[in-house]
Structure 1
């Protein structure tokens, strides 16, 4: 709506300017036709591709500020006032904030002067209040529009008398009390005459010609659209101006059209007819009346008569210039705003997930991880010894095919080696290098290849070692795509030498080749937000600085009963231990020594945290670069209230003198240090908290509280999950669905919360469904078709059930998920051809969601999509031959098991056995 208001205003002003500049140079019919651009802009949500000249480019900051303002809360219906001094929590609240009173009903708000707490019965946002005002005004305007035309029509019906006219194609009536002749009617327009109009044959001819021209120009239709624009945009003054001016241009265009059918010597007679019949009014005619009346103001009538007398000739160049400028104005106002990101676009959540979970990591050993083991600006300079230190990803301790093991052992003297050997032929090395770099061993610079032993007889490289030195995990934090070049950024915790940038080339066939791996600065890559506007934008500029719980350090000596590990934080060691008093503590070690008997002879520590009684209930790990500090994070079970417990994450750093400082505490099953908005500075994200730093101060955004205060539809916050690839928090729960026919339904919701540095953005999933496939769901074409076939069968089976079991109004279905599943990562063994498994998601749509029967794990969204149906076999299983051909099998993987579970693997084995394959175990 905001974009339409801005662009339509600019377009109207532009056309008014063109109308003034070309007032004596272009035909009035051309001038009148240009107003169709405004009607199109106001009534049709059409948008051209983004262009540099879009007017929205200049107003993006203003739009963001307006969006934030529109989401500010507004409290309605005050029901109680209490002095602030009598409300303890009001002493720490800020004016305008909701204060905690323990009441389950209402919204107690502290007044601006801080003296009164007023409880309100309802809360809404500015946009909701304005929406109510807009809809109310639209209803009143529509009522006036309908009543005006209905009254006018009844008047005509009551007074009209048929007036026969030869050669006239439309009904003609005479009305004695009509102030001016007019054309009225939408489907079958009729001409209505006054007694003055039929006084002479000449007048009658002029009037009929005028009204017939109105009909030929489809002016009843344009009058109706003009009234619709005024009804919808009743609050917009420029729309009213455009309606009045376009109505004037309608009459001028009609005059031009009528005069084209008269001789030059009849022009003055036509003008005299207008002077005799057109009543001069001081105020504009009712713009919500669709009749093409001939009434005009004094100035407009003078303009009409002057143009009739002068008969100005249009200038072709002026017409072309006006059309060109109008087209330019249309392009500027219809074009979407152009985003101006760098040439490299941030990778999407799905792409980051792929590189973290599929391309890298996984089972031992993923040879792609080893391409991160050295620095290189050209793949020819890859350190081959580091790359192939553990082999090529296969079992390289086995003798290569075609070589006699005993002869090889004797030749290389492998039996005397103390450690296992890695054996690689040149062909094996070439296979890996060719696939992932496009090179052969001969084409590389063979960096560190000499660190291997080489046997020319067998063309074999080998080495023996006891360690693995395998990079089992890499966390790709961010990435960009520039054409076919993909840059992946990760902090090299394996080597401990900072940030790296790995460059891949997309080969266009689903494969990637390595191009470089070099040190870099920490990236500041903008977070990839959804392509649509957020449902809510909640500013966080009015938060108070975060005050973490105080840390009390107690000195303990010689009370260590059992130690559980130490962690170096700067120059100090933090240990967890069991005390002789029966408690578990986290402590900074000041002095410790081991006695001759292996026990603790000296134990001097500062205890700063008492842990749960069972040691398995906590974990300790390191964090770095959080608000300027490095330290440890201790995870343990804790109680938020007496009745509610969850996981606590305490982030501690140590001062120079070894004093522990609690930097922040998050709650829930997950907590991560992550750059949420992509500005190069880390934030801290928990399950309902975002911590960020501004001007040296740490702030906590309590997401649950913010959503409750700014989203009146929220009724229940159920579950939240951090998504490190999207850099967002995905929240599920329940909300009111006022748009349902019963007016009080309750729907499930999924919202994704982002932090952009200034506000919390709340996004609803607005992806489209095209041909039963949810936008963004991708897979090979034949897999998609099989998924659709599966979905159609599920839908048919659903409709076959009785309505009292499922509800009514089901009218559509869609596939919401086609995700690959890898059984190999769960230890599944298979010597046959490649197996692909796809997990499917299915939803059905109901036009009567209030009647849907929701049971078990089902859910229903506010737009009527229903999911969570129990499906017996929600997987596709196929065999992929060497030539890429897929053969789909009848899946027997059940729907009530998780990926990788024993039931999942048993179902896969059963699927293969039913298809005639032999499966071990």
Structure 2
């Protein structure tokens, strides 16, 4: 909508300018036809291929600014006002911003002067509010349009009498009270005459020629579409201008067409007919009336008479120039915004995984998450109070080294508070800011730094609080890279105010600095597919529409033995509860009142799901933006089939009447709402199947069934893992290996399945191996060299173990993974110098893969690479020195457990203590 408003405004302005400069040199029929471009732009949401010069390219900054504004919150229906001094958390809020309270109802907001906290009943974004206003105005305008035309039609019906006219293609009627002759009727147009129009035969001939020309030009249809535009874009002043001007051009074009039929000899007489019959009014005719009335303003009538009497000859060069300029204006307004796919590349799944699992998130407290706690277009404008609200990631509630605790407690009056006090020196803030922004505290604009108390004696910024603003998890759903700029997109569920984009700068040494964090529209970033062609492409255009299992709602009253947490879905609450009949139910709550003894004195619910057994583990969470619905997903165990495991994910939404509807059901151990093909519209992906929508209809693709039908080599589907970062499903199992020496081997396979909007793409891993390193495996060069030394040693040990026979003919090895085991990701801590830990994996190659013994976790791929065997110490551990060099330690972390496991933590502790 925003794009159409912008481009249509420019197009209308351009046509008005062309109309002025070519008003005497091109036919009005040509000018009238040019308004069809505006009609097309307003009613048909099409885009031409991108051009170097276009309105959307030039208006990119304006569009982004509008997008930011549209996502700003608007608070509605004030229900309570409280002095800010009576709300303890108001001191942390910004004027005009939300106030954090424990209330479950309402949205407290601090006034602009900081004196009052107003609680509002409703919070919406600007875009939602404007959408409500737009739809209300559209409904009102539509009713007015319908009423005006019905009233006019009824007036004509009551007043008309048939007026026989030989040779007329259309019915002709005489109306005694009509102010002007007109043509009316969308599907069966008829000509309506006034007594003055039939007073003289010549005048009647002129009027009939005029109205029949309107009919040949299909002007009732264009008038109707003009009214549709005014109904939809009732708020747009330029659309009203275009409607009025195009209506005038319609009459001028009709005059030209009528005179072409009557002949130049009738030009002056035709002008006299207009002067006699056209009512002159100060206000233009009702633009929402589809009739082609001859009403005109004084200036408009003068223009018509002048053009009739002077009969300006069209200039061919001017017509061509006007058409060319109008075409250019249309191309520039219809063209899609130009993108630079070669410059801005979608992040791969591994890159997105790094930012989700290593850079952000992890164990409490990752200070990088706090850089998402405020909006800023420049790092100088970061809200320092929000950033350092919980400290700098270390324990900032302890007395800094070198300061006497009792003196500090007395100076800061710490004995008179039950809440901890965060204490940060300028040096501590400088360390964080310089590392992640390249700035010092002095170089920032010190936004909200004054919210801290500053003690000059100790150079401490202090704040006492018992709550937290820590963002424990951010889900980055997509990202792009353009040169050294990384743009990461996430839906801010923590603040609940829409989509955001955080921009990082790659410093080239493995570190990143924050550049901005701003609201944005939901991204439509293309999925980063592998660089090679898919092994198999399976179309999904022949699937039958999906029909979700029907939902039966049973009314239960006063049977609640134990209720659990409620989940608000629209105007209703959904609860899981234990019934007195011993069953667990999911139910829509109609009425619930808790008694003084903990029992429910009132309980009236609609049960729509019976959970299998009391012992099962059930979880409930929210989902949003799936096939046009928001709702809840209930995960529970139950007997399904041997093929599909024993876990359900049921996605429900509620109708306006509170009736639960099962939107889709997935099976397996994982299920996510995710934009699989990167077109900005979500799909639903499970471990075995995915759901997509096409032309308003939902379809289910059974991936196991599709692969079995289209890939004869598949013999067994083992398991699948959904990768939300790569937007793919990683599938493993067994396949026939006809290329092996015996011609009938069973090899392991690993495939990645993608959905591109039209088909399922099946990719085999075709990365090359160079110098014992699998392509795309990245790490600091020093780590890679140490990993290769470890790989060679492991290879030699494996071949030298006569008792550990895996197979025959091994001739090569390779490192397949180097993963950083960061403390943020896996939750380990070390109080000494900075430590880095890397987990390693490697494979060996066999020229006789059919001889490999598949014992334990060993696998052999169809190209002869073998992996999965036990490695005693598959980790690199090093201390990072002050000068940036690394000192490698003898790792004692065993391969029995993964990163973060108890075996890992004990082995890391032994490694570091023995250093």
TM-score, normalisation: structure 1: 0.61
Q: Which residue of 2 aligns with 1:722?
A: 722
1:790-825 CA-partner distances (Å, limit 9, x unpaired) = 211222233334599332221111111111113575
What is the distance in 1 between the residues matched to 2:887 and 2:527? Answer: 40
Q: Could you tell me how far apart the structure 1 residues matched to 2:543 and 2:388 are?
A: 53
Q: Per the alignment, in what secondary structure is the counterpart of residue 617 of structure 1? A: coil
Alpha-carbon distance, 1:714 to partner: 0.2
Determine the structure 2 residue equivalent to 1:330: none
Structural mapping, 1:194-209, within 5 Å:
none
Give 1:690 deviation, angstroms. Answer: 1.1
1:449 alignment partner in structure 2: 449
2:853 aligned with 1:857: no
Q: 2:903 corresponds to which residue? A: 903
Residue number in structure 1 paired with 2:478:
478
8 Å Cα contact 1:637/1:647 also seen in 2: yes
Matched, 1:464 2:464: yes
Residues 295-329 of structure 1 deviation map (CA, whole Å, 9 limit, x = unaligned):
xxxxxxxxxxxxxxxxxxxxxxxxxxxxxxxxxxx
Q: Structure 1 pair 697/802, CA: closer, same or farther in 2 (3 Å)?
A: same
| 1:563 pairs with 2:563 | yes
SS in 2 for 1:843: strand
Whole-Å separation in 1 of the counterparts to 2:699 and 2:870: 43
1:627 and 1:693 in contact (8 A); partners too: yes
Shift of 1:611: 0.5
Deviations 1:369-389 (CA, angstroms, capped at 9, x unpaired): 111111111111111111111
Distance of 2:455 and 2:399 partners within structure 1 = 13
- Residues 720 and 731 of structure 2 are in contact (CA less than 8 Å); yes or no, is this contact kept in structure 1? yes
Q: What is the rounded CA distance, in whole Å, between the counterparts of 1:906 and 1:430 in structure 2?
A: 35
Equivalent residue for 1:764?
764
**CA deviation after TM superposition for structure 1 residue 642, in Å:** 7.8
Instruction: Specify whether residues 669 and 537 from structure 1 end up closer, same or farther in structure 2 by C-alpha distance, changes over 3 A only.
Output: same
Q: Does 1:835 align with 2:838?
A: no
User: 4+ residue runs of structure 1 moved beyond 6 angstroms?
Assistant: none
> Counterparts in 2 of 1:872-887, with a 5 A limit?
872-887=872-887
**SS of the counterpart of 2:878?**
strand
8 A contact 2:499–2:520 mirrored in 1:
yes
Q: Residue 895 and residue 541 in structure 1: after superposition, are their counterparts in 2 closer, same or farther (change >3 A)?
A: same
- Matched with 1:665 is 665
- Paired residue for 2:417? 417
The residue aligned with 1:866 is 866
How far does the alpha carbon of each residue in 1:603-639 deviate from its partner, in whole angstroms, 9 at most, with x for none? 1111000012225511000000000000000000011
SS of the residue 1:641 aligns to? coil
Residue 753 of structure 2 contacts residue 761 of structure 2 at CA under 8 Å; is this kept in 1? Answer: yes
- Residue aligned with 2:896, SS: coil
Instruction: State how 1:558-597 maps to structure 2 within 5 Å.
Output: 558-597=558-597
Distance (Å, rounded) in 1 between the aligned partners of 2:440 and 2:425: 13
Question: What do residues 379-407 of structure 1 show as CA deviations (whole Å, max 9, x unaligned)?
Answer: 11111111111111111111223322222
Q: Deviations over 1:263-292 (max 9, x none)?
A: xxxxxxxxxxxxxxxxxxxxxxxxxxxxxx
Matches of 1:483 and 1:913, distance apart in 2: 42
Checking the alignment, whether the CA contact within 8 Å between 2:481 and 2:487 is kept in structure 1 is: yes
Aligned twin of 1:817: 817
Describe the superposition over 1:832-864 as per-residue Cα deviations: whole angstroms up to 9, x where unpaired.
222222111111111111122221110000000
Distance 1:642 1:505 in 2: 49
Structure 1: give runs of 5+ residues left out of the alignment: 1-338, 916-921
Structure 2: tracts of 5 or more residues without a match: 1-338
Shift of 1:713: 0.2
What's the offset of the Cα at 1:826? 5.1
2:484·2:507 contact (CA, 8 Å) conserved in 1?
A: yes
- Structure showing greater radius of gyration is 1
Q: 1:827 to 1:375 in 2, by over 3 A?
A: closer
For residues 398 and 448 of structure 1, the distance between their equivalents in structure 2, rounded to whole angstroms, comes to 23
**Cα distance change of structure 1 residues 898 and 478 upon mapping to structure 2, 3 Å threshold:** same
Q: Within 5 Å, which residues of 2 pair with 1:79-118?
A: none
Correspondence 1:681-720 to 2 at 5 A: 681-720=681-720
Q: For residues 376-391 of structure 1, what are the structure 2 equivalents within 5 Å?
A: 376-391=376-391
Match of 2:255? none
Change (3 A) 1:615 1:531: same
Q: Once the 2 structures are TM-superposed, how far is the Cα of residue 343 of structure 1 from its aligned partner?
A: 2.5
Q: Deviations over 1:77-109 (max 9, x none)?
A: xxxxxxxxxxxxxxxxxxxxxxxxxxxxxxxxx
Deviation at 1:595, TM superposition (A): 2.4
Seen in structure 2, the aligned counterparts of structure 1 residues 560 and 826 have a Cα distance that, compared at 3 Å, is same
Query: 2:782 aligns to what?
Result: 782
| Cα shift at 1:643 | 9.3
Cα deviation, residue 906, structure 1: 1.6
Per-residue deviation, 1:545 = 0.6
**Cα offsets for 1:186-208 (capped at 9, x unmatched):** xxxxxxxxxxxxxxxxxxxxxxx
Q: Is the 8 A contact 1:823 1:905 kept in 2?
A: no
Secondary structure of the residue aligned to 1:892 is: coil
Q: Using the alignment, how far apart are the partners of 1:757 and 1:381 within structure 2?
A: 41
Alignment deviations for residues 155-212 of structure 1 (CA, whole Å, 9 cap, x no partner): xxxxxxxxxxxxxxxxxxxxxxxxxxxxxxxxxxxxxxxxxxxxxxxxxxxxxxxxxx
Could you tell me which residue of structure 2 aligns to residue 734 of structure 1?
Answer: 734
How far did residue 588 of structure 1 move? 0.5
Residues 299-698 of structure 1 correspond to what in structure 2 (within 5 A)?
A: 341=341, 343-614=343-614, 616-641=616-641, 645-698=645-698
Aligned pair in 2 of structure 1 residues 558, 740: CA closer, same or farther (>3 Å)?
Answer: same
- Asked whether the 8 Å contact 2:560–2:577 carries over to 1, the reply is yes
Higher mean C-alpha displacement, 718-727 vs 818-827: 818-827
CA contact (8 A) 1:637 1:645 kept: no
1:7-156 matches, within 5 Å, as: none
Note closer, same or farther for the CA distance 1:574–1:878 as it changes in structure 2 (3 Å cut).
same
- Secondary structure in 1 aligned to 2:661? strand
Secondary structure of residue in 2 paired with 1:530: coil
Q: Judge conservation of contact 2:358–2:825 (CA < 8 Å) in 1.
A: no
SS in 2 for 1:442: coil
The separation in 2 between residues aligned to 1:669 and 1:802, in whole angstroms, is 40
Structure 2 vs 1, CA of residues 346 and 463 (structure 1 numbering), >3 Å: closer, same or farther? same
Cα deviation 1:465-513 (Å, max 9, x = unaligned): 1101211111111111111111110000010000001111111111111
What does 1:265-280 align with in structure 2 at a 5 Å threshold? Answer: none
Change in CA separation of 1:458 and 1:889 when aligned onto 2, cut-off 3 Å:
closer
Distance 1:522 1:414 in 2: 46
Q: Which residue of 2 aligns with 1:67?
A: none
Q: Distance in 2 between matches of 1:417 and 1:819?
A: 45
Separation (CA, whole Å) in 2 of partners of 1:425 and 1:845:
56
Which secondary structure does the structure 2 equivalent of 1:787 belong to? helix
- CA RMSD for the aligned pairs? 1.7
Alpha-carbon distance in 2 for matches of 1:855, 1:344: 46
Contact 2:808–2:846, Cα closer than 8 Å, also in 1: yes
Q: 1:827 Cα deviation (Å)?
A: 5.1
Shift of 1:340: 7.0
Give the 3 Å change call, closer, same or farther, for CA 505–857 of structure 1 in structure 2: same
Paired residue secondary structure (2:808) = coil
2:848 is matched with 848
Question: What aligned pairs does 1:151-300 form with structure 2 within 5 A after superposition?
Answer: none
